[in-house]
């Protein structure tokens, strides 16, 4: 059994993590909808990161950078001497800039960009959670063999595992998508019964069994 006592969503770290959860959800939906496109995308990404010759390409780019900087200095120095030659100054400067750029880009790795739609949805989701003082509106959520039970002093709702479509995880959060379009955002710190490292495997197992 896993029991959550919902608390306020006031930690600023939740903003970026909620966006990431929704990005994961969007990608998962896209992979189900157009698996062929993702198979090709994954193949290209795997080749780009681990493919043959990657280290050789990095070394080649470094050599290019050294050569461009050397050529730039070779052109820039005489260009600055009297009488100054603007074309040499301009060409030398551009060559040095291009060489430095080669060094900067060779190891640069871009983090996956969160789509704008996910940013907007995350903002709306958190605004709804933060509009409630959860210390006054006591809500608990229980996960056991019966399913997911949401209960408070006035309300009790049971959702069977076959209604839970997917679950995603970040460092401090879980996102459960159920009843097609509903989303439940759970903070790991709110788990008062059960172990955090066992929750995700348990939910995924229950989902796979019931569906």
Q: Would you call the peptide bond into 54 cis, given omega within 30 degrees of 0 as the criterion?
A: no
Q: For the whole model, what pTM was predicted?
A: 0.68
CA neighbor of 177 nearest in space, from 187, 190, 167? 167
Q: Report pLDDT digits (tens) over 140-166.
A: 999 999 999 999 887 889 999 999 999
What distance in Å separates the CA atoms of residue 14 and residue 19, rounded to the nearest whole number?
A: 8
Convert 78-95 to b/e letters by CB count within 10 Å (16 or more is b): ebeeeeeeeebbebbeeb
- Here the tokens at position 30 are 């896209």
Q: What is the pLDDT of residues 91-124, one digit of tens each?
A: 666 666 666 666 665 555 455 578 888 899 999 9
What pLDDT score was predicted for residue 40? 63
pLDDT digits (tens, 9 = 90+) for 120-137: 999 999 999 999 999 998
Query: DSSP H helical segments within 54-162, as ranges?
Result: 54-80, 86-106, 116-130
Q: Residue 87 has which token pair? A: 């074309």
- Of 50 and 198, which is predicted with more confidence? 198
């Amino acid at each position: 059994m896993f029991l959550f006592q919902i608390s306020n969503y006031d930690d600023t770290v939740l903003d970026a993590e909620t966006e990431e959860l929704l990005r994961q959800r969007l990608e998962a939906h896209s992979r189900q909808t157009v698996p062929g496109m993702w198979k090709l995308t994954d193949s290209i990404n795997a080749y780009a990161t681990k493919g043959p010759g990657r280290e050789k390409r990095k070394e080649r780019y470094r050599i290019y950078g050294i050569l461009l900087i050397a050529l730039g200095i070779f052109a820039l120095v005489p260009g600055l001497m009297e009488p100054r030659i603007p074309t040499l100054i301009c060409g030398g400067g551009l060559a040095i800039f291009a060489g430095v750029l080669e060094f900067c880009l060779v190891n640069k790795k871009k983090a996956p960009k969160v789509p704008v739609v996910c940013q907007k949805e995350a903002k709306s989701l958190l605004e709804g959670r933060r509009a409630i003082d959860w210390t006054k509106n006591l809500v608990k959520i229980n996960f056991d063999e019966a399913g997911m039970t949401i209960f408070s002093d006035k309300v009790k709702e049971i959702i069977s595992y076959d209604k839970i479509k997917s679950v995603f995880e970040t460092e401090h959060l879980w996102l459960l998508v159920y009843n097609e379009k509903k989303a439940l955002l759970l903070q790991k710190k709110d788990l008062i019964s059960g172990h955090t490292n066992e929750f995700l495997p348990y939910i995924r197992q229950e989902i796979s069994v019931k569906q």
